[in-house]
């Protein structure tokens, strides 16, 4: 299986890349500032997406994992205000970035048989979870969830399944040291979810440990 992962230089993306490599799969690990073993991909930049798509040529991608994300308003109080630029920067990565990535690699996904797209959103995307705060991140992840479900409708005809996932509250730079689970736990759960994704479950919104999450 050939797997392309965005934001694979650290955190969940890197752990997924390590897992799939160790399992013997071909992994295209990407990063906006690549180091050894990674290819360049800034998901906010259409030229960067196009350059990597051209570099892959006619190679099929069996699983595209849209993992890159930012949480710029973490801990921001409503009274402090939410800058317009922070909205723009967050949406550029968490929403537009997902769409640009899917769009760029659609020919490679279509070249595979039964290809899949996994979008790493968050439980914070759900309309059932609105306890206040994190206005930008919540809205961006809700938009990514909507995007994923919309893509699921359009791409079913191509035989491409799309799943949207909450990876758990994970101990990464974003999740922080007091988060509930390790990247290894998140990864083994997510890998099982991606394996189970098919056209019957396309458009699903699931947690890392296999529960359907309310939209
Ligand atoms: P990290 O902050 O550890 O990693 C985020 C990754 O995204 C980094 O590799 C970062 O690269 C990359 N990235 C950010 N912007 C871009 C960009 N424009 N182009 C390419 N890559 C980019 O976060 P996690 O590993 O924890 O998060 C992974 C995903 O899981 C995110 O989508 C996040 O929202 C989601 N998530 C995480 C949770 C958690 O508890 N950790 C909970 C719910 C969802 P760089 O090093 O260049 O910044």
CATH number assigned to the domain comprising residue 7: 3.40.50.720
Tell me whether residue 211 is in a domain.
Answer: no
Average pLDDT over residues 141-145: 98
User: CA-to-CA distance for 155 and 80, rounded, in angstroms?
Assistant: 41
Per-residue confidence (pLDDT) for residue 27, from 0 to 100: 98
Determine what percent of the chain is predicted with pLDDT higher than 70: 100
Average pLDDT over residues 154-174: 98
* Binding pocket residue ranges, ligand 1, CB within 6 Å: 6-7, 9-13, 31-33, 41-44, 67-71, 93, 97, 120, 122, 166-167, 169-170, 172-175, 179
Average pLDDT over residues 192-199: 98
What is the pLDDT confidence band of residue 112, given thresholds at 50, 70 and 90?
confident
What is the pLDDT confidence band of residue 209, given thresholds at 50, 70 and 90?
very high
Per-residue confidence (pLDDT) for residue 25, from 0 to 100: 98
CA 115: distance to chain centroid? 15
- Sorted by sequence, the CB contacts under 8 Å of residue 213 that are 6+ apart come out as 123, 126, 166, 205, 206, 207
Average pLDDT over residues 167-193: 97
Protein residue with least CA distance to atom 11, ligand 1: 7
Could you please report the per-residue DSSP string of 100-135? HHHHHHHHHHHHSSS-EEEEE--GGG-TT---S--H
Per-residue confidence (pLDDT) for residue 113, from 0 to 100: 87
Average pLDDT over residues 173-185: 97
Q: Which domain holds residue 145?
A: 1-205
Residue matched to tokens 């990514």: 144
Average pLDDT over residues 163-179: 98
Q: What is the mean pLDDT of the chain?
A: 97
Per-residue confidence (pLDDT) for residue 129, from 0 to 100: 87
Tell me whether residue 22 is in a domain.
Answer: yes
Segment 43-77, tens digit of pLDDT: 999 999 999 999 999 999 999 999 999 999 999 99
Segment 121-140, tens digit of pLDDT: 999 999 998 899 999 999 99
Ligand 1 pocket test, pick from 119, 144, 167 with the greatest ligand atom count within 8 Å of Cβ, gives 167
Tell me whether residue 213 is in a domain.
Answer: no
ipTM of the complex: 0.99
Tell me whether residue 162 is in a domain.
Answer: yes
Per-residue confidence (pLDDT) for residue 97, from 0 to 100: 98
Tell me whether residue 198 is in a domain.
Answer: yes
Ligand 1 centroid to residue 157 C-alpha, Å? 30
Tell me whether residue 214 is in a domain.
Answer: no
Per-residue confidence (pLDDT) for residue 86, from 0 to 100: 97
User: CA-to-CA distance for 187 and 13, rounded, in angstroms?
Assistant: 9
Instruction: Report the phi/psi class of residue 159: left, alpha or beta, with left for phi > 0 and alpha for psi in -120 to 50.
Output: left
* pLDDT beyond 90 at 38: yes
Output phi, psi for 62, to 5 deg: -90, -30
pTM value surpassing 0.95: yes
Ligand 1 pocket test, pick from 4, 13, 91, 123 with the greatest ligand atom count within 8 Å of Cβ, gives 13
How many structural domains compose the chain? Answer: 1
Between 27-31, 78-82, 87-91, 207-211, the lowest mean confidence (pLDDT) is in 78-82
Token code pair at residue 124: 């914070």
């Amino acid at each position: 299986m050939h797997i392309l992962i965005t934001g694979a230089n650290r955190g969940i993306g890197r752990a997924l890349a390590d897992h799939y490599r160790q399992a013997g799969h071909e992994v295209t690990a990407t990063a906006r500032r690549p180091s050894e073993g990674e290819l360049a991909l800034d998901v906010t930049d259409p030229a960067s997406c196009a350059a990597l798509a051209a570099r892959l040529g006619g190679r099929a991608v069996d699983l595209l994992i849209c993992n890159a994300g930012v949480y710029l308003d973490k801990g921001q109080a409503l009274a402090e205000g939410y800058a317009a630029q922070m909205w723009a920067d967050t949406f550029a990565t968490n929403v537009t970035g997902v769409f640009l990535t899917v769009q760029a690699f659609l020919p490679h996904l279509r070249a595979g048989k039964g290809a899949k797209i996994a979008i790493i959103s968050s439980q914070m995307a759900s309309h059932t979870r609105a306890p206040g705060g994190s206005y930008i991140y919540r809205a961006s992840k809700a938009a990514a969830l909507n995007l994923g479900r919309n893509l699921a409708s359009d791409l079913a005809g191509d035989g491409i399944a799309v799943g949207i996932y909450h990876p758990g509250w994970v101990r990464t730079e974003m999740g922080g040291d007091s988060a509930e689970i390790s990247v290894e736990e998140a990864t083994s759960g997510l890998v099982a979810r991606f394996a189970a994704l098919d056209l019957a479950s396309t458009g699903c919104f699931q947690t890392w440990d296999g529960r359907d999450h309310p939209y």
